[in-house]
Amino acid sequence: MTSNSTHSQDISPTDTKTKLTLTILSVWHIIFTVGALTGALLLWQGTTETADWLKIIFSIFLVLGAIFSVLAVFSIRQRKHRGRAISLAVNYLGFLASFFGLLHVTGFFTGIDSLGENFSKGLPYMGLAFVGYLIGSVGDRYQDNRPSIAQKFRKTAQVLGALGGILFLFAVGIIPGILSFISEFTSLPPILLLLSTIIFGVMVWLMWREPTRIAMNTRSKDQLMMEGYLFLSPNLIGFLFFFAGPLLFSLYSSFTDSDAFGNANWIGLENYQEIFNITIEPLEYIDQLAKEVINIEVYDELYRFNIFGKHYVIGAEDQLFWISLGNTIKFVLLAVPMSVIPALLLASVLNSKLPGMKVFRAIYFVPSVAAVVGVAMIWRWLYNSTVGYLNYFITGFVEFVNSTAGSQLLTDPQVGWTSDTQVALISVAIMAAWQWTGFNTVLFLAGLQNIPGVLYEAATVDGANPWQQFWNVTLPMLAPTTFFVLTTTTINAMQIFDQVFVFTRPPGGPGTSTTTIVLYLYKQGFQNFRQGYASALAWVLFLLIFGLTLAQYMRQRAGDEAI
């Protein structure tokens, strides 16, 4: 230890306090290394029911922590900035892990439920705090000419805000919450976690302080780096934990027969094989039974077709996947044009600088803010085959035409919007297009407003009529927007779920006429609990979407070059 301090003195002059700090940090890192390695070993000794892969991940983290701790000790001795960076990273991550671990074991996260229970009692006080905020913002108007009044307003606002906040906390039960939090500290894990949270926290603080920073020869560039990671860390860690991690796990899971209850065996490509496994066999005559030509223990009949006078039957191992894929493609082909073409039309009209356009734009956007579930309920009612408005309007129209023509020109179709297997998917597409049109209109409008007016002036000088202008100026200039709108709408349409789940009874019905890929995935993953298979379906869907987007992108690029 003495040699350590004398050694470091050679590099930069440091006061005794800082030297002590660095010694404490080094000792801590040695203790931590030993602790982490022991922990990693103990993890495999005990009879805990933790899953193996979880143990592996924990062990990796602990061993990595230990290795970096050792590195940190050496670098701290040499007063290299790297040591500070490693030490801060290890301690910061340790701090976060123990802090969130503490919150977890003390039931903080599940305690949000009781907050939900009492939330309504706190709402009036929240309103009080909001009134305080409003008073404060009114006061800001006097800031320039009558600062004393602004000051008074701000005081009132602060008092009201604080009062509202405190009363809110009491109303939603902060005291029972704290009491139950404290009562958790009778067992060992919370106490240990609290202790380690404090220790890690103190270590981070010791290393972060200005004197230590100077002693560790941190340059401003290094400091900038540390700050960068620090600022990004909440986002990055959450992102890794809740998105990137699950994303990788999903890929792994698609190669297993995982069932959501912790049982998973590696089965390689079997899931994907099952999804894509199809067979084509020739038929001897047109209505020959499928079981005579294909192995019906594996395949279900999917489709029959006829080429050059010969009949064939297609069988698929997962018939429902192909049906849902077909439904999804049909849905995309219906809903995308229905929500993009009217949007383009409306946007071009809204772009004419007539009065009142903002009002119309505002109206068109309303469906996009409404919850899909609620919208589906409304449309179920509009689609009602006996008393719904849609059939009523159609009947009215048919009667009008017939009475004008004086003959039975049209017959009233009396569409079974939700009960007819031929129509149900169209009904869903109309509903979805209705909801998406306004959003697309706003996107197109923004694109149109970016087109320089000079181009139209030039076109007018050249004698182009409005239609030619639209075709030769607007559409080419709008291509990036169109690409964006088409891509996002297609991506949304490929993932259609909420609409069919709520709108159709039973979800995906009648029959399988509205079963889409995501709905099928949901049924496999959360009703049959074949989560590995569901993951494989998800990746197939992702690759489809990715391929489509790429293809649209290539086409747009090609189009750009042609111009």
Partner 1 sequence: MSTYRIGIFLRNLLLYITLTFFAFVMLFPFLVMVFTSLKEANDTYRFPPKLLPRAPITMAVEGFEEELPLYYVDNEGVQDKFVLIEKTVKVGEYAAANQLDTTYIRELDLVTETAGKTVIYEGEEVPLYDITVNGETIPMVRIARTALGRFADPNDPSKTLLQNLRDSEPVEKLTWHPENYKEVINLHGMDRALTNTALITILVVLGQLVTSVLGGYAFARLNFPGRDSLFVIYLGTIMIPFVVVITPLYQLMIMLGWVDRLAALIMPWIFTAYGTFLMRQFFITIPKEIEEAAILDGASRLQILWTIFLPASAPALATLSTFTFLYAWNSFFWPLVVINTGNESNRVLTLAVSVLGGRAADAPNLVLAGAAIAILPPVIIYIFGQRFFVESSTSSGVKG
* Residues 117-146 close enough to bind partner 1 by CB under 8 A: 117, 119-120, 123
303 scored as a contact of partner 1 (CB under 8 A) = no
For residues 332, 333, 338, 343, the Cα torsion angle rounded to the nearest 10 degrees is: 70
Q: Is the dihedral of CA 299, 303, 307, 312 positive or negative?
A: positive
| Smallest gap from residue 466 Cβ to partner 1 (A) | 9
* Residues 15-74 close enough to bind partner 1 by CB under 8 A: 54
228 scored as a contact of partner 1 (CB under 8 A) = yes
Helix axes 517-526, 319-350, angle to 10 degrees: 130
- Closest by CA to 164, choosing from 126, 123, 119, 120, is 126
| Smallest gap from residue 16 Cβ to partner 1 (A) | 27
- Closest by CA to 332, choosing from 268, 426, 395, is 426
- Phi (first) and psi of residue 266, to 5 degrees: -70, 120
Q: Which residue in this structure is represented by tokens 């009778």?
A: 186
Other Cβ atoms within 10 Å of 403 Cβ, number: 10
531 scored as a contact of partner 1 (CB under 8 A) = yes
* Residue of the chain from 1, 175, 188, 224 that contacts partner 1 (CB under 8 A): 224
| Smallest gap from residue 328 Cβ to partner 1 (A) | 12
Q: Which is nearer to partner 1, 5 or 384 (CB)?
A: 384
Task: Put the strands of the sheet holding 300-307 in their side by side order.
Answer: 278-282, 310-316, 300-307
- Closest by CA to 194, choosing from 258, 261, 125, 98, is 98
463 scored as a contact of partner 1 (CB under 8 A) = no
* Residues 151-190 close enough to bind partner 1 by CB under 8 A: none
* Residues 312-341 close enough to bind partner 1 by CB under 8 A: none
**Interatomic CA distance for residues 203 and 93, integer angstroms:** 11
* Residue of the chain from 167, 382, 464, 479 that contacts partner 1 (CB under 8 A): 382
Q: Which is nearer to partner 1, 22 or 325 (CB)?
A: 325
Count of residues of this chain found to bind partner 1 when the rule CB under 8 A is applied: 113
* Residues 483-522 close enough to bind partner 1 by CB under 8 A: 484-485, 488, 491, 494-495, 497-498, 501-502, 505, 518, 521-522
Other Cβ atoms within 10 Å of 544 Cβ, number: 15
| Smallest gap from residue 303 Cβ to partner 1 (A) | 26
Query: What are 338's two structure tokens?
Result: 């229905």
Q: Which is nearer to partner 1, 49 or 297 (CB)?
A: 49
* Residues 394-413 close enough to bind partner 1 by CB under 8 A: none
253 scored as a contact of partner 1 (CB under 8 A) = yes
| Smallest gap from residue 413 Cβ to partner 1 (A) | 16
Largest CA distance in the chain: 111
Q: Which is nearer to partner 1, 33 or 524 (CB)?
A: 524
Cβ(280)–Cβ(295) under 8 Å?
no
Helix runs in 406-452, H state only? 424-449
527 scored as a contact of partner 1 (CB under 8 A) = no
Instruction: Write the single-letter amino acid at 438.
Output: G
438 scored as a contact of partner 1 (CB under 8 A) = yes
Q: Which is nearer to partner 1, 205 or 305 (CB)?
A: 205
- Closest by CA to 474, choosing from 498, 440, 441, 449, is 449
* Residues 540-559 close enough to bind partner 1 by CB under 8 A: 541-542, 545-546, 549
- Closest by CA to 324, choosing from 152, 522, 72, 107, is 522
284 scored as a contact of partner 1 (CB under 8 A) = no
Helix runs in 385-423, H state only? 389-405
Beta bridge pairs of residue 266 = 256
* Residue of the chain from 1, 175, 369, 454 that contacts partner 1 (CB under 8 A): 369
Cβ(255)–Cβ(271) under 8 Å?
yes
C-alpha radius of gyration, the chain, whole number: 33
Q: Which is nearer to partner 1, 91 or 258 (CB)?
A: 258
* Residue of the chain from 167, 174, 202, 260 that contacts partner 1 (CB under 8 A): 260
* Residues 93-122 close enough to bind partner 1 by CB under 8 A: 104, 109-110, 112-113, 115-117, 119-120
229 scored as a contact of partner 1 (CB under 8 A) = yes
| Smallest gap from residue 225 Cβ to partner 1 (A) | 4
| Smallest gap from residue 499 Cβ to partner 1 (A) | 10
